[in-house]
Chains A and B, each alone.
Chain A
Amino acid sequence: MHIQQLSIFLEDRSGRLTELTRILAEHDINITALNLAETTDYGIVRMVVGRPALAKEVLEKAGFSIRLTDVACVNIPDEPGSLYRVLKILTEENINVDYMYAFSNRDVALAVIRTADISGVAGILEKRGVKLLSQRDIYQL
Chain B
Amino acid sequence: MCRNKMIWNPERECAEREQMRALQSRQLSAMIQRMCDHVPFYRDRLKERGIEPGDIRSVDQLKSLPFTTKADLRDNYPFGLFTVRQNDVVRIHASSGTTGKPTVVGYTRQDIDIWAEMVARSLTMADIHSGDTIQIAYGYGPFTGGLGLHYGAEKVGATVIPISSGNTRKQLQFMTDFNATILACTPSYAAHLGESILKEGISPKDIKLRAGVFGAEPWSNEMRREIEKLLHIKAYDIYGLSEVIGPGVSMECECQCGNHVFEDHFIPEIIHPETLEVLPDGEIGELVFTTVSKEAMPLLRYRTRDLTRLHREKCDCGRTLVRMEKCLGRTDDMLIIRGVNVFPSQVESVLMEMSETSPHYQLIVRRENNLDTLEVLVEIDEKNWSDSIRELEGIRRRIDHNIKSLLGISAIIRLVEPNSIERSEGKAKRIIDHRKKGV
Contacts and interface: CB of A to CB of B under 8 A. Distances in A.
Interface of A: 7, 9-11, 37, 39, 41-42, 44, 46, 63-65, 67, 69, 98-99, 114
A11 B415 CA distance: 8
User: How would you classify the secondary structure of chain A's contact residues: helix, strand, loop or mixed?
Assistant: strand
Contacts of A11: 416-417, 420
B387 A39 contact: no
A112 B418 CA distance: 27
23 contacts: A9-B380, A9-B385, A9-B415, A9-B418, A10-B417, A11-B417, A39-B389, A39-B393, A41-B415, A42-B414, A42-B415, A42-B416, A44-B388, A44-B389, A44-B392, A46-B387, A65-B382, A65-B417, A67-B385, A67-B387, A69-B387, A98-B388, A99-B389
Contacts, number: 41
What 8 pairs between A and B have smallest CB-CB spacing?
Answer: A7-B387, A41-B414, A65-B417, A65-B418, A37-B389, A11-B417, A44-B387, A11-B416
Residue of A9, A10, A11 with most chain B CB atoms under a 10 A cut-off: A9
B9 interface: no
Contacts of B385: 9, 65, 67
B355 interface: no
Interface of B: 380, 382, 385, 387-390, 392-393, 414-420
A50 B393 CA distance: 30
Contacts of B380: 9, 65
Contacts of A7: 387
B220 to A, nearest CB: 25
Contacts of A65: 380, 382, 385, 417-418
A41 B390 CA distance: 14
Given A9-B387, A44-B392, A65-B380, 5 more contacts: A9-B415, A42-B415, A42-B416, A44-B387, A67-B385
A64 B419 CA distance: 9
A47 B392 CA distance: 18
B417 A9 contact: yes
Contacts of B416: 11, 42
Contacts of B419: 63
Contacts of A99: 388-389
Contacts of A41: 414-415
A41 B414 CA distance: 7
Contacts of B382: 65
A37 B419 CA distance: 22
A2 B388 CA distance: 18
A65 to B, nearest CB: 5
A10 B389 CA distance: 12
Contacts of B390: 98
Contacts of B392: 39, 42, 44
A29 B123 CA distance: 55
B25 to A, nearest CB: 60
Contacts of B420: 11
Contacts of B387: 7, 9, 44, 46, 67, 69
A63 B416 CA distance: 13
Contacts of A10: 417
Contacts of B388: 44, 98-99, 114
A85 to B, nearest CB: 25
B198 to A, nearest CB: 14
A41 B417 CA distance: 11
A4 B351 CA distance: 30
A42 B393 CA distance: 11
A11 B379 CA distance: 10
Nearest to B390: A98
A37 B391 CA distance: 13
B132 to A, nearest CB: 37
Contacts of B414: 41-42
A64 B380 CA distance: 12
B379 to A, nearest CB: 9
A98 B390 CA distance: 9
> Which of A10, A67, A69 gathers the greatest number of chain B CB atoms within 10 Å?
A67
A116 to B, nearest CB: 10
A29 B380 CA distance: 27
Nearest to A38: B389
A32 B416 CA distance: 27
Contacts of A114: 388
Contacts of B415: 9, 41-42
B415 to A, nearest CB: 6
A40 B358 CA distance: 21
Contacts of A39: 389, 392-393
Nearest to B414: A41
A123 B382 CA distance: 31
A10 B387 CA distance: 11
A10 to B, nearest CB: 7
A98 B392 CA distance: 13
A7 B385 CA distance: 10
Contacts of B393: 39
